[in-house]
Each structure stands twice: as structure tokens, then as C-alpha cells.
Amino acid sequence: MLRIALAVVLCLLVSVEAKFPENPKPCKYGDGECIMKLCNTLFSENAAEGNPGLNLEQLDPLKVDRMVISQGESSSPVGITLTFTDNLLYGIKDQRIVKVKGFGRDLTAKHEVKIVAKTFSLVGPYNIQGKVLILPISGTGQSNMTMVNVRAIVGFSGKPLEKNGETYLDVTDLKITMKPESSHYHFSNLFNGDKALGDNMNVFLNENSEAIYKETAKAIDRSFSKLYLGVVKGVFSKLPYAKLFADE
């Protein structure tokens, strides 16, 4: 699951803020290959510690205060409201960018980042109500939702924002699409702590994980997109857009 667009955003800003006068140098506008290489280096070095100068806390694990995955389409065999509170997201430090588009001079153009990750694990308290493949499910406790060998695409766009005589990128739209090779689930204390029912449901969820993820993928992507939009907006509001790149 991805912290994803931050890989590009963070490293672009770090390249400006940090003391790298010679190596590595900031990238030119739209130089996708340069941006990709620079991000993979700088992001892996900063993900575990964060960057207070950019108002970014530790990114791996990433604190997720609240996330709601709501899948309620009547035609779907999965209908759930799954709420995560005070969770941690692991795996961001090992993700790698494999392709970058955009980041040119036009602030209204779409930017796209393709990422691969070994695993993304969301761990912490949960509450779930609903049905999964016609079986009822309910519970409150601790959970672990892990996606393995994830391919993700982050697309975002915005508009110019004039502030203090400078032009910033105001990110107004962000969408994440994730495709894991497999997914795994564990929910403790299902069915008011009925161990037999809870154990059987966890086995059922993992035996049918491919079908379950397929039914909930859009809801998961929506939830993560909302999570990252606020963070990315905050990062781009830190410095004027033109100062993120090297002079021609």
C-alpha cells in the first residue's frame, strides 16, 4: 500500500533543502530518469527517520490515525465497513520507483509515479462489520493486512497557487491504484472473541484472499488516495515549485 508519491515529493525537496552542492544534484524539469534515481536513493535514506524540515514524520512505519474502507455495492458479494485506527504502515522504505512521468514546467499537468514494493503491511486496531462472500463478519481487535509484491501507480495533478510572490503547486487530485500479487489477512477477536468462529473466518479470508481483494480493491485505493492527498499537498506547499528543480 503505498506512501508512494512521497517518494518523488520527498526526494525532490530533500535535494533542494539538504547540503548536496555537488552530488547528487537536483534534477531538471521533466527528467524522469534522473528523478527516479535520485528519489530511490534519497527516499530509502530518509523514510525511516522522516524530515522535520518538510513537516514529514517518520514514514516507515507510517502512522495512520484513521482509515475507513467501505465496500457497499449491492451487486458485490463483499459488503463491509472496515475501520482502522492508530495503525502503522510498514514497507515504505523498501519500495522502489520504476518510472516517472510529468514534473515539467506546467503546474496543471498530471504527474505519474510507478512503484514496486515487496510488502505493505497495515497493523493495528480495527473494527469490521458486514459480509464477506455471503458470510457475516464482525469484530473489534488487532489486525494485520499485508499485500505482497505490490505494483502501484500514483497519479496526481494540481493548479498554481500564488503565495508571497511565489508560485506553489496546490495538489487538488490524487489517485492510487495498487495491484498486489497476493494479500493476507488476520483479524483477532472476531465474533466477540469466539475463537472457533474467528479462526475459521481467518482461514476463510486467506483461502479466498484473491477474490476478496478484487472486490475491495477500489475501496482500498480510495481510502489510501485520501490518506496521501493531504500529505502530498502539505509537502508541495513547503517550497515554490520552481525551487524544486535545477536551473537549465
Can you give the CATH number for the domain in which 53 is found?
Answer: 3.15.10.30
Whether 240 is covered by a domain: the verdict is: yes
Q: Does the residue 85 lie in any domain?
A: yes
Cα pseudo-dihedral 51, 52, 57, 60, rounded to 10 = 20
3 falls within a domain:
no
How confident is the model at residue 119, as a pLDDT?
A: 95
The answer to whether position 122 is within a domain reads yes
Mean pLDDT of 106-110: 94
* Helix, strand, or coil (residue 229): helix
How does residue 229 score in pLDDT terms, banded at 50, 70 and 90?
confident
Would 113 be classed as within a structural domain?
Answer: yes
Q: Specify the range with the lowest mean pLDDT, choosing from 105-119, 164-178, 216-230.
A: 216-230
* Mean pLDDT computed over every residue of the chain: 86
Are 89 and 1 contacting, i.e. CB atoms less than 8 angstroms apart? yes
Q: What is the C-alpha to C-alpha distance for residues 123 and 7, in angstroms, rounded to an integer?
A: 21
Higher per-residue confidence, 11 vs 160: 160
CB 80 within 8 A of CB 97: no
What is the pLDDT, as a whole number, of residue 10?
A: 53
Distance of alpha carbon 129 from alpha carbon 33, whole angstroms: 45
Domain count, the chain: 1
For 233-248, write each residue's pLDDT tens digit: 877 888 889 888 887 6
The percentage of the chain sitting over the pLDDT mark of 70, rounded to a whole number, equals: 85
Q: Is residue 132 part of a domain?
A: yes
Please indicate, yes or no, if residue 109 is contained in any of the structural domains. Answer: yes
Beta strands in 91-203 (DSSP E): 96-101, 111-132, 135-163, 166-187
Phi-psi region of 126 (alpha: psi -120 to 50; beta: other; left: phi over 0): beta
Residue 237: the pLDDT is 83
Indicate if the pLDDT at residue 54 is higher than 90: no
Contact yes or no for 46/6 (Cβ under 8 A): no
Residues 6+ apart with CB under 8 A from 16: 26, 239, 243, 244
Q: Which residue has the higher pLDDT, 141 or 15?
A: 141
Q: Could you tell me the residue range of the domain that residue 38 belongs to?
A: 19-244
Question: Which residues are 96's β-sheet partners?
Answer: 116
Give the per-residue pLDDT at 227.
81
Domain-embedded: residue 217: yes
